[in-house]
Structure 1
Amino acid sequence: MTTHTVSQDDRLDDFTPIDLELEGTKKRVWRSGHGPAVIVMHEMPGISPHVARFARWIRDGGFTVWMPSLFGRDGAIGSAEEGADVFRRACISAEFRALGAGVSSPVTVWLRALARHAHGECGGPGVGAVGMCFTGNFALTMMLEPAVVAPVLCQPSLPLDVPGGLEISDEELARVRGRLERENRKVLAYRFSGDAFCRAERFAAYRAALGENFVARELPDSAANTDVPPFFDRHVPTPHSVTTVHLIDETGQPTLAARDEIIAFLGDALSGEAP
């Protein structure tokens, strides 16, 4: 059996690569596991070994993970320079809206189609969606797809230029809030208190827009791992990635408790026990 470590490139050899054409666009998706579907959307600068580790934890919690490749080299750690280049290209890509609040990234249309496809393949009461960093808010926008019933937002960082901005339109927010209230569902969200990319103003805006349906978890900066890969060491000056790079995989650590809470949240929603 292959041993996977976050300190070297990950071959993703326990995932099956699938090239899916949805909404007229083909993307690679890495699939693994059994049970209800959970879409895991990776952070910058790509599907890193840390992201793959998180996806395996979700899979081992009893789910089928669908992990779309949205940017970067799959499985790679990469250099600080390579990561910065991925970031720049994503910022000018037509698929993403890195700057300016009040509009969703076009790629979320494809991701909602992926959720429908995954639900059809895996069955169950619905699909979970976990976004992180650049993709953090995508899990919320995916609630516009009825199949998505368990959204998790990890350090949602867009828009980059408006700390209290939300990467979703007011009309879409109203539709999401209406659905959350009708179905008695929650949005689970995480950030470090000193995060420079996902600041307190953004969580305040989510609370104002979604009310009690928005469940926020703010972890102390002291809970963050300090042994990080080159991209984070060079370009991410504050604690940021709650469930991946800055997670400390030790019993009693707040980041590990966050991971366990996410798995429990997904289990409750996708087992049919909630709401």
Structure 2
Amino acid sequence: MTVDPSVIAPVLSQPSLPLPVSKKAKASIHLSPEDLRVVKDRVANDDICVLGMRFTNDRAVPAERFATLRRELGDGFIGIEIDSSEGNAWGNPKNAHSVVTEHLVDEPGHPTRAALDQVLEFFRERLLPPG
């Protein structure tokens, strides 16, 4: 995620590992306790923020996983969750998974396009020199 000090703009795009085959795995963020301490320290002391994206009905990326990220990282986690429930207003398929590739709808105002724009802005803010 952001254990390595060179990582300054971490984005979790539909983080599906570990596979959510149990209650514990659904909530897991696939980090050892030591690595989680490093990430939390970087969030607290190095102005690091982790951005994550998922579709709400994506069984590979359960809501419990984002709940863990919110609980562990607090304001250091920005979660983008796009409605893919049956009959959603945007017509996102129930089985949508890939926010900025396969299931991207590249039209202004669409939530997947807004998510892509947010990722690009996140990269600009954190990776480009000021000015």
TM range (shorter): 0.7 to 0.9
Which of the pair has the greater relative contact order for Cα pairs under 8 Å at 6+ separation?
2
- Residue 114 of structure 2 corresponds to 257
Higher strand share: 1
Q: Which amino acid letter does the alignment assign opposite residue 176 of structure 1?
A: V
- Residue 152 of structure 1 corresponds to 11
Cα distance between partner residues in 2 of 1:248 and 1:259? 10
Measured after TM superposition, the shift of residue 225 of structure 1 is 5.0
Larger Rg: 1
- Residue 71 of structure 2 corresponds to 208
Measured after TM superposition, the shift of residue 209 of structure 1 is 1.6
Question: Does 1:188 find its partner at 2:47?
Answer: no
Q: Which amino acid letter does the alignment assign opposite residue 15 of structure 2?
A: P
Cα distance between partner residues in 1 of 2:29 and 2:92? 27
Question: Does 1:241 find its partner at 2:98?
Answer: yes
SS at match of 2:67: helix
Equivalenced residue count is: 122
Q: Which amino acid letter does the alignment assign opposite residue 244 of structure 1?
A: T
Q: Which amino acid letter does the alignment assign opposite residue 79 of structure 2?
A: A
Measured after TM superposition, the shift of residue 208 of structure 1 is 1.6
Measured after TM superposition, the shift of residue 238 of structure 1 is 1.4
Q: Is contact 2:48–2:76 with CA below 8 Å preserved after alignment?
A: yes
Q: Is contact 1:224–1:248 with CA below 8 Å preserved after alignment?
A: no
Cα distance between partner residues in 2 of 1:220 and 1:261? 16
Q: Which amino acid letter does the alignment assign opposite residue 206 of structure 1?
A: L
Q: How does 1:80-119 map to 2 (within 5 A)?
A: none
Q: Which amino acid letter does the alignment assign opposite residue 9 of structure 2?
A: A
Cα distance between partner residues in 1 of 2:75 and 2:66? 12
Q: How does 1:110-129 map to 2 (within 5 A)?
A: none
Measured after TM superposition, the shift of residue 219 of structure 1 is 0.8
Cα distance between partner residues in 2 of 1:176 and 1:185? 8
Q: CA separation of 1:224/1:172 partners in 2, compared to 1, >3 Å: closer, same or farther? A: farther
Cα distance between partner residues in 1 of 2:54 and 2:91? 11
Percent same amino acid among aligned pairs? 40
TM-score (norm 2): 0.86
Q: Deviations over 1:238-273 (max 9, x none)?
A: 121111111111121110111111011000001234
Q: Is contact 2:83–2:92 with CA below 8 Å preserved after alignment?
A: no
Cα distance between partner residues in 2 of 1:176 and 1:210? 8
Gaps of 5+ in 1: 1-139, 227-236
Q: Could you list the structure 1 runs, at least 4 aligned residues long, displaced by more than 6 angstroms after superposition.
A: none
TM-score (norm 1): 0.42
